[in-house]
Structure 1
Amino acid sequence: MAELTFYTNPQSRGQIIRWMLEEVGAPYETVVLDYATTLKGAEYLAINPMGKVPAIVHDGKVVTECAAICAYLADAFPEAGLAPPVNDRAEYYRWLFFAAGPVEAAFTNKALKVEVSPEQQRMVGYGTFETAIHAVEKMLEGRAYVTGSFSAADLYLGSELGFMMRFGMLQAGPATTAYVERLTSRDAYKRAAEIDAAAAKELAPAE
């Protein structure tokens, strides 16, 4: 049996990978790290020198970065059906990494209240927040998923969109709203959310 260890904090982007692992269905061990202590400890820094979560170790191999972990797990566990056939992955790769690049950068800068001037828009991969989101919403019109069926690209993109909607950073159109609702109704998403909620409760300081 393959050894798979998941390093996370339940109040982090690790929620994306928890969901992915629940979709994969393979057994895994969870190591919950605390922001104030173990996340910056020597043991974890030996795995990820950035001191960031999530990360996985699978059969002794370290993978970090959410999109990379999603792509890796989809390939490592093909029986879960989370990636299209290799010769049909153009849209899959395009939107998985569009979410990890332009969308991630756009919403991070928006959260930090970083204003990009018109002159600077050519220097940033997303142009403007509105441009990046419009591209996603245009893609989602008339389709249930990025490809013909649910994949790791949907899981990652849907996680990003859902986060922004939950915190009032995105006033989503009908197609995007329906897309996120479709994804978050999945059993694996609900299991992952319950697990992380319980883990966050355990980490919370006693009152």
Structure 2
Amino acid sequence: MSSDIIFYTNPMSRGQIVRWMLEEVGAPYDTELLDYATSMKGEKYRAINPMMKVPAIVHRGRVVTECAAICAYLADAYPEAGLGPRDEEKANYYRWLFFAAGPLEQAVTNKSAGFEPGEERAQMLGYGNYDLAVNTLAGHLEGRDYVCGSRFTAADVYVGSHLLWGIQFGTLPKLDTFVAYTQRLEQRDAYRRAKDKDNRLIADIQAAAS
């Protein structure tokens, strides 16, 4: 019997974010592995995501794409997991979930691509400049265990994934606040399960290609 969730991914992609979220939710899911050259561009998957990128999920026939949206959707769809915001957490939850999906990602992507706007153009951009975006997030996390305070939520899966990835590959600085925050996240059982699954899949792909 198939699961309610079909998870479309490639282990060497942002699908790792959604894998972690799925493990946190704890609901059963079926995984469909796609490769960049063929199946991700095929008609079957284009009907699910015309952008031809992963990840995506189909939950009871409903398609959700974009990592931040998937994390928020799954928190809502499975409230028993306790990953959605309580009333007093909603301001921080939504603010920083969308901050990571917008200003932070734009700032990191543009800097990685070699585009750093001068002062005269900074006002045109949603993030101002790279340092401003990075320091704004660091300022929020200072003195907090998680995005919403003392409790882990789906916002930490998404925000934390940006920081874990950025620190690993050097696109974000190893600020003490960032390092302490990501170290807490790495201790989560769901995070470790997700990493183990994706690392095994990556090893299989690399072995098959050698």
Which bracket does the TM-score occupy, shorter chain normalised?
over 0.9
- Counterpart of 2:49 in structure 1 is 48
**Does residue 1:145 correspond to 2:146, yes or no?**
yes
Map Cα deviations across residues 128-178 of structure 1 (whole Å, 9 max, x no partner): 111001001100111101113000111110100111100112222212110
Partner of 2:84: 83
User: So what's the TM-score if we normalise by structure 1?
Assistant: 0.96
**Percentage identity across paired residues of the two chains:** 57
Query: Is the Cα–Cα contact under 8 Å of residues 9 and 31 in structure 2 kept in the other structure?
Result: yes
Tell me, in whole angstroms, the C-alpha distance in 2 between the residues paired with 1:124 and 1:151: 29
Superposed counterparts of 1:54-65, under 5 Å: 54-65=55-66
CA positional deviation for 1:203: 2.1
* Deviation for aligned residue 1:2: 6.0
Where in structure 2 are the equivalents of 1:92-103 lying within 5 Å? 92-103=93-104
Contact residue 116 and residue 129 of structure 2 kept, 8 A? no
Shift in Å, 1:90: 0.7
Tell me which stretches of 4 or more aligned residues in structure 1 moved more than 4 Å: none
- Conserved? CA contact 2:107–2:129, under 8 Å: yes
Amino acid at match of 1:206: A
Q: Considering only aligned residues, what root-mean-square deviation do their CA atoms show, in Å?
A: 1.3
Aligned pairs, number: 207
Deviations 1:27-47 (A, max 9, x none): 000001000110000000000
Moved more, 94-103 or 165-174: 165-174
Structure 1 residue identity aligned to 2:204: E
Q: CA deviation at 1:111?
A: 1.4
What's 1:165 paired with? 167
Look up the equivalent residue of 1:171 and give its one-letter code.
Answer: P
User: Are the aligned partners of 2:3 and 2:30 in contact in 1 as well (CA < 8 Å)?
Assistant: no
**1:21 to 2:22 alignment:** yes
Between the aligned partners of 1:107 and 1:76, the Cα distance in structure 2 is: 30
TM-score (norm 2): 0.95
Deviation at 1:86, TM superposition (A): 4.2
Matched, 1:9 2:10: yes
Q: Who is 2:124 aligned against?
A: 123
Question: For the residues of structure 2 that align with 1:68 and 1:31, how far apart are their CA atoms?
Answer: 19
Supply the AA of the counterpart residue of 2:107: A
Provide the secondary structure at the position in 1 that maps to 2:63: strand
Q: 1:85 offset after TM fit, Å?
A: 2.0
Mapped partners of 2:165, 2:110: distance in 1:
14
Superposition deviation, residue 123 in structure 1? 1.1
Partner SS, residue 119 of structure 1: helix
User: Within the alignment, does 1:68 sit opposite 2:69 as a pair?
Assistant: yes
